[in-house]
Amino acid sequence: MSEDLTKGGKIRPITRWGTPVMHAPTEPVTEFDEELHTLIRDMFATMHAAEGVGLAATQVGVGLSVFIYECPDGDDRIQRGIVCNPTIELPTGKDRNLDASDEGCLSWPGGYATVPRPDKAVCRGQDAFGNEIEVHGTGLLARCLQHETDHLNGTVFGDRISGRSRRKLDAEVADLAWRYSDDWPVTPKAKAAPLPKSE
């Protein structure tokens, strides 16, 4: 049902960490209308252009509780979907296994840090038409569901790492900033460093 919303959008600039919308809880989706569907189409176009596996509305500057994903699960099958008003359920006790993998974020491009997260997650919410849905995530999809739900709660993964790891992450991003223009991915990622300016 959501397939038609994965195509036909326009690429929007990706909002960076430090912008207020990235660090505030979002408003719930209450209208499952064409305005929402246009946003979703644009989010898919933006995510594809940025070569990401998930994108929250806050990452295109919209403080609305919706994210999209196109991400492999634990069996390397690509799962694609839209979740509005998500809640996340994580395993507890003996069912809780942490996966300490590297994590990145399109809103802090070029940087990666190890972020331990449960290797399974259940995300509940509504689809783009207001129908109740439940997504079971394993592997990278479990991480993606947690990462995107965090975004909608005003949390970036840099909030989940130590000060030392955050400084290293910020340095990586600063070193690669030349690749990402302010309107990236509207302007594609640069493939080579700019020439030094002559005196």
The DSSP result for 19-58, as a single string, is SGGGGSPPBPP---SHHHHHHHHHHHHHHHHHT-SEEEGG
pLDDT of residue 2: 44
**Six-digit token string for 112:** 């990666």
pLDDT of residue 199: 59
pLDDT of residue 58: 98
* Chain-centroid distance, C-alpha 9: 17
Asked if 134 contacts 121 with a C-beta cutoff of 8 angstroms, the reply is no
pLDDT by position in tens, the chain (length 199)? 445 899 999 999 999 999 999 999 999 999 999 999 999 999 999 999 999 999 999 999 999 999 999 999 999 999 999 999 999 999 999 999 999 999 999 999 999 999 999 999 999 999 999 999 999 999 999 999 999 999 999 999 999 999 999 999 999 999 999 999 999 999 999 988 777 776 5
- Out of 132, 148, 172, 199, the active site residue is 148
Q: Is 148 a catalytic site residue?
A: yes
**Residue 14, Cβ density class (10 Å: 0-12 exposed, 13-18 middle, ≥19 buried):** buried
| Closest-CA residue to 37 (of 70, 82, 69) | 82
Q: From residue 142, give the alpha-carbon distance in Å to each of 72, 80, 97, 130, 153.
A: 10, 13, 12, 23, 17
pLDDT of residue 194: 73
Domains of the chain: 3-177 (3.90.45.10)
Q: Which amino acid is at 162?
A: S
Measured CA to CA, the distance from residue 176 to residue 3 in angstroms comes to: 34
DSSP strands (E only) in 90-163: 98-104, 112-118, 120-126, 132-138
pLDDT of residue 1: 43
pLDDT of residue 97: 94
